[in-house]
Structure 1
Amino acid sequence: MNLQDTLLPPHAEMVRAMLERDTAYEGVFFTAVKTTGIFCRPSCTARKPKPENVEFFAHADECLSAGYRACLRCKPLDAAAIAPDWVQRLLKSVDADPERRWTDVQLLAEGIEPLKLRRWFKQHFGMTFHAWLRTRRLGMALGGIRQGDSIDSAAFDSGYESLSGFRDAFQKSFHITPGRAAHSEPLLFTRLTTPLGPMIAMAERRGLVLLEFLDRPALTREVEALQNRYGYAVAPGHNAHLQQIEDELAHYFAGKLTEFKVPLHLPGSEFSRQVWAELAKIPYGQTSTYGTIAARLGKPGASRAVGLANGHNRLSIVLPCHRVIGADGSLTGYGGGQPRKAFLLRLEKAAVQITHQLAF
């Protein structure tokens, strides 16, 4: 098996989830059937295979790399495969009443198993449901403070009876005091579903700042740098830039978008921004090398520095560092993992070939 054991449930639990078509495991793993050569989402409604004929993968691209084809019924490569219905209903309830305190008893009354909810949120948001709720309320308090609300009002509206408790929670979440929040730049984030697994997108008023796979090892370090070095207050939320990148990603994975239009904001050193600008110039469906980029910058001996700046790119796919390969044609490193890099290059190559065929 090719599993991420620290993230995925045990084998027996995956077999059970597959047989019962458990939607709680959407995006957590994929089932690949050896006898048919097809891979599916756990909730696929097709007739279930014998467990001994199935192997499990953490990502869709790993199924493709192993030679499996996507199921035409459940469409595991469909970027529109969003949160399961029971999660969507809960999120709508939270939007309708953001001040409600959800206990395990209340969740069970809504037909939601707290352990499944915890697992789903950890997998897709990197935190538990209750931690997400607290951060969301604090994000609303942040917005209120920036609009002129007093700290006392923000604390009360967030459900905190103790002002000191609110200050402690606020500073722990945003790495700034409530008093400084009025002068900080909110960085809103949301989780996005893609065929290659969940991603996190972050944007401020000037544009998209971060787009990364949730399992990228450097993600925590990148977010901490945005908070500590650039003064961002990170909170769950949504804005026009996040909506735009969600729409554009869906079209990209469908092979219908070759150039992203979402506005970008790129905090970083002058050299890093120069490298990132060169990344943006690599044509869709083509590749370049560190040496080529260094030469274009007038620094032919700076291949290593270019590689470091490439690795510090916070905008996966949009700034296409996946199109940078080794001088010998090897895929080299990629923060999202080489299978994903190979998938993205295959996707773009196939889309270009289809376009050429249609043109003739």
Structure 2
Amino acid sequence: MITDLKKKEFYQALLERNTEYEGSFFVGVKSTGVFCRPTCPARKPKFENCEFFFTPQEALLASFRPCKRCSPLSHPNQVSELVQKLVQAVEENPEKEWREKDFRELSVDESTARRQFKKRFGMTFVQYARARRMGLAMKEIRSGKAVIDAQLHTGYKSGSGFRDAFSRIMGDTPTSVQENSILTVSWLDTRMGPMITIADETELYLLEFVDRRGLEREVEILRNKTKAAIIPGKTEPIQSIEREVDLYFKGELTEFKTPIKWLGTPFQKRVWAKLREIPFGETRPYSEIACEIGKPTSTRAVAGANGANQIALVVPCHRVIRSDGTLGGYGGGIARKKWLIDLEGKGSSLIK
């Protein structure tokens, strides 16, 4: 049952196209007979013409049909078939240097590919493919291969051209790469909105909602701390967290097993470790966390460490609330925090 107060909250989110509410509710429009997600770009209906639902199934049962503009039955920002085709083509032959004829052979419009990749990844397809090639070059150089071999393997006939391209993408020259590391970034679609994940070959470094305020700064801090180049692709930790996040949102997973890497102060690491001890389906006040780590007067510092967490869901900072029972802050947005707590509350009751 959705209360009148909640309906007003949902309607305001609909007017604002608030991405924090993505997946929290769906709205049926009585005047058109369609139902939409909160971020639908269509003209907004009057409040009295809206009917709100928690799931698309409820909207369908109420005889509403899915909106063609926002596709409420698919993941938000779901990757297009064209992007899927080109990403797969890159993975099948990552060393390939793409030419105009290659797009024609795949029956793909080059300008459309450029536009869709820019929207999804923040880079054009050619930049994506080049970054992937350079990532392979970095791995080869770090494994002991000669720079000239990596250069030729990635399709560069000119040594200076290879060095220039390498430096632009990796932030350093090929000869100094053995001192650096490489991280891989991937986009993950969830019912609560898209997330970004960053990992190396063995551990997860970052998992955040892409609309989190200050995310660009978080990624830059991560890059500086690790002295790493960040390139598109997938590693075992990324594949693992994709599987686990999918099961989590389906209510079929209560504990994440993907190995994680914490980059923080000793105090922050103590707080994050304590967060992982909060049982699924339960919450704890900031003050209690402070007491449990032996710092009862450091409630504010605990809140700061909680906000500095870069691995959402896995390190469950959403389970920490204020002493008066109110939710407090959350990098992914208060609406998501409430939704996650409600999701886990329902799941814990089933487990018990």
Q: Using the TM superposition, give the Cα deviation of residue 53 of structure 1 relative to its aligned residue in structure 2, in angstroms.
A: 7.5
Match of 2:278 in 1: 282
CA deviation profile, 1:136-157 (whole Å, cap 9, x unmatched) = 1111111111122222222232
Match of 1:39 in 2: 36
Is contact 1:32-1:54 (8 Å) kept? Answer: no
Match of 1:304 in 2: 300
Measure, in 2, the Cα distance between the counterparts of 1:211 and 1:132: 21
Query: Letter of the aligned partner of 1:244 in structure 2?
Result: S
CA deviation profile, 1:203-243 (whole Å, cap 9, x unmatched) = 22341111112222322222222222222232222222111
Q: Using the TM superposition, give the Cα deviation of residue 80 of structure 1 relative to its aligned residue in structure 2, in angstroms.
A: 11
Number of matched pairs: 316
Q: Using the TM superposition, give the Cα deviation of residue 85 of structure 1 relative to its aligned residue in structure 2, in angstroms.
A: 2.6
Is contact 1:32-1:39 (8 Å) kept? Answer: yes
Residues 140-219 of structure 1 mapped to structure 2, 5 A cutoff: 140-219=136-215
SS of aligned partner of 1:319: coil
Q: Using the TM superposition, give the Cα deviation of residue 246 of structure 1 relative to its aligned residue in structure 2, in angstroms.
A: 0.8
Query: Letter of the aligned partner of 1:34 in structure 2?
Result: V
Measure, in 2, the Cα distance between the counterparts of 1:31 and 1:124: 24
Q: Using the TM superposition, give the Cα deviation of residue 101 of structure 1 relative to its aligned residue in structure 2, in angstroms.
A: 4.0
CA deviation profile, 1:146-202 (whole Å, cap 9, x unmatched) = 122222222232233433333233233233332222232221222211111221212
Measure, in 1, the Cα distance between the counterparts of 2:340 and 2:197: 18
SS of aligned partner of 1:152: helix
Q: Structure 1 stretch 299-308 or stretch 97-106: which is displaced more? A: 97-106
Residues 39-78 of structure 1 mapped to structure 2, 5 A cutoff: 39=36, 67-72=52-57, 76=72
Give the 3 Å change call, closer, same or farther, for CA 52–124 of structure 1 in structure 2: closer
Measure, in 2, the Cα distance between the counterparts of 1:308 and 1:175: 31
CA deviation profile, 1:255-291 (whole Å, cap 9, x unmatched) = 0100101111112211111111011111111111221
Measure, in 2, the Cα distance between the counterparts of 1:353 and 1:132: 44
Is contact 2:202-2:236 (8 Å) kept? Answer: no
* Residue among 244, 256, 260 paired with 2:256: 260
Match of 2:7 in 1: none
Query: Letter of the aligned partner of 1:70 in structure 2?
Result: T
1:127 aligns with 2:127: no
SS of aligned partner of 2:226: coil
| Identical positions, percent | 38
SS of aligned partner of 1:301: coil
What root-mean-square deviation, in Å, do the aligned CA atoms of Structure 1 and Structure 2 show?
A: 3.3
Return 5+ residue gaps in structure 1 as ranges. Answer: 6-26, 43-50, 56-65
Give the 3 Å change call, closer, same or farther, for CA 170–331 of structure 1 in structure 2: farther
Q: Using the TM superposition, give the Cα deviation of residue 39 of structure 1 relative to its aligned residue in structure 2, in angstroms.
A: 3.5
Return 5+ residue gaps in structure 2 as ranges. Answer: 1-14, 61-65
Measure, in 2, the Cα distance between the counterparts of 1:229 and 1:53: 44
Measure, in 1, the Cα distance between the counterparts of 2:110 and 2:17: 24
Give the 3 Å change call, closer, same or farther, for CA 175–292 of structure 1 in structure 2: farther
Q: What is the TM-score of this pair, normalised by structure 1?
A: 0.76
Match of 1:12 in 2: none
Give the 3 Å change call, closer, same or farther, for CA 221–169 of structure 1 in structure 2: farther
Query: Letter of the aligned partner of 2:205 in structure 1?
Result: V
Query: Letter of the aligned partner of 2:29 in structure 1?
Result: K
